[in-house]
Amino acid sequence: VQKLGGTLLEQLAKIEPVLEHLRRSRDERVEEFMVVLAQIVRLHAEISGTVENGDHVPPLVDETNLSLRRLAEFKSQLKELQTEKIVHHL
């Protein structure tokens, strides 16, 4: 870790790019969660026969756990639903 020297404004100027990068990364991760969760909700509705026409409300993402492990769990759940949908239509 690099030591921050100088005035508070100089210190802020040094860390601001890092913070901005972290914000972008978080926003991208939230978007990825939203896409996967929306697909899960849609597939649940299709399989159960409760597909409703109208405005689609995007799922809420719990931003307290945006870990890759949690994302992998959702992707695994999505894959299971995709398989179930295929089997259901056979």
pLDDT of residue 32: 97
Residue 66 covered by a domain: yes
Is residue 15 included in any domain, yes or no? Answer: yes
Provide the pLDDT for residue 26. 97
The domain total for the chain is 1
Residues 66 and 37: beta-carbon distance below 8 Å: no
From first CA to last CA, the distance across the chain in angstroms is: 57
Q: What tokens does 21 get?
A: 């990068």
Residue 19 placed within a domain: yes
User: Which tens digit of pLDDT belongs to each residue from 14-65?
Assistant: 999 999 999 999 999 999 999 999 999 999 988 888 876 655 677 889 999 9
| Residue 49 three-state SS | coil
Residue 74, Cβ neighbours under 10 Å: how many?
A: 17
Residue 1 within a domain: no
- DSSP H or E stretch at residue 55: none
Structural domain boundaries, residue 28: 8-88
Asked if residue 2 belongs to a domain, the reply is: no
Kindly state whether residue 64 falls inside one of the protein's structural domains: yes
Both structure tokens of 49: 């026969």
| Residue 57 belongs to some domain of the structure | yes
